[in-house]
Amino acid sequence: MTTRTDIHRPSAIVPADYDFVALDYYGPSDGGQDLVFERQAFRAHRERTGGKFSGHDHAGSCHICGAHALYVAKFHHRPTNSYIVTGLDCADSLEMGDPVAFKRFHRSIVDQGKTAKAKAAAKAFLEQAGAAAAWDIYAAADRADKYEENTISDVVGKLVQYGSISEKQVAFVQKLLAQIPARAQREAARAAEAAAADPVPVFAGRAKIEGKVLTIKVVESQFGSQTKMLVQADAGWKVWGSVPSSIGPERGDRVYFEAKVERSTDDPKFGFFSRPTKARIQAAGAA
């Protein structure tokens, strides 16, 4: 065994001559946020100093004791403008660096490994369920900001977090995936329908409204919870207001009621109704 004579050997090292630069991990990793940050910090430091790694014989990944370490710290040796790598134990024992930061970094890498395993399991699950495209949407950096993609990403995120989703959620994801290819056609049809719609009439007194329920939603306000509905008349215009207490419509039902109607100042084809009376469900319809 060759006797070491370099200045970085344990018996000769002077901690005051070293500046801590960054942490690193030499194990398998897909690059977590903390790891990326540490490596960027080290590259930036080297660009400023122009320094290189020490070329002394050190056997393992730790340039001080020669051990093979996965979690390491990188230091700049000011007198020689060179860099060394140490295991976290050597860095800690020589009081070089920040032990608290070392522990946090170690936990980050461990958590990242767990996340990577969870993501791999989720991807395999979706492939087996015939919904591999859902993973592609979840992992895409440029995912479309649309209802289907956002909902799919949310469900897949829960799969990654909790390790499983229900059969209903799987079926829902598959349904959303099937809707995406025809979305442009649906949006074009809705735009054409909106363009062809008549404006909300100016009613003299209370209006007689007959149309299809498009949406039912519970809304919170200062008066408590209120159930609202969006109704589209045969002429295309739409009105929004509280569901009459005398009926319990579902989306797709055809309803009739009388109410006061006020046209929106922003959209002549949209209005608001209030104080509905004489309400009835004329026909149940498909949602």
Per-residue confidence (pLDDT) for residue 280, from 0 to 100: 94
Contact between 59 and 36 under an 8 Å Cβ cutoff? The reply is: no
pLDDT digits (tens, 9 = 90+) for 58-75: 878 899 888 888 989 999
d(CA 65, CA 3): 13
Contact 198, 256 (CB under 8 A): no
Which percentage of the chain shows pLDDT scores above 90?
52
Residue labelled with tokens 């289907």: 148
pLDDT at 30: 64
Question: What Rg value do the Cα atoms of the chain yield, rounded?
Answer: 33
Digit-coded pLDDT (tens) for 130-182: 999 999 999 888 888 989 999 999 999 999 888 888 999 999 999 999 999 88
Task: Check if the beta carbon of residue 130 is closer than 8 Å to that of residue 174.
Answer: yes
pLDDT in tens, 231-263: 999 999 999 999 998 998 999 999 999 999 999
Q: What is the pLDDT of residue 1?
A: 53
Segments in the chain forming alpha helices (H)? 33-49, 88-93, 99-128, 132-139, 147-162, 167-179, 183-196
Element (H, E) at 226: strand 224-233
Distances (CA, A) of 281 to 35, 245, 268, 271: 61, 12, 26, 21
CA distances from residue 18 to 7, 21, 49, 86, 94 in whole angstroms, order as listed: 12, 9, 14, 12, 11
Q: At what angle do helices 99-128 and 147-162 cross, to 10 degrees?
A: 120
Give the angle subtended at the CA of 139 by the CAs of 138 and 145, to the nearest 5°.
55
Domain limits, the chain: 15-106, 129-196, 197-283
Q: Would you mind telling me the total number of residues written for the chain in this entry?
A: 287
Cβ atoms 177, 201 nearer than 8 A: no
The CA distance from 174 to 176, in Å, is 5
* Nearest residue to 35 via CA among 117, 115, 92: 115
Kindly state which CATH superfamily the domain 197-283 is placed in: Nucleic acid-binding proteins (2.40.50.140)
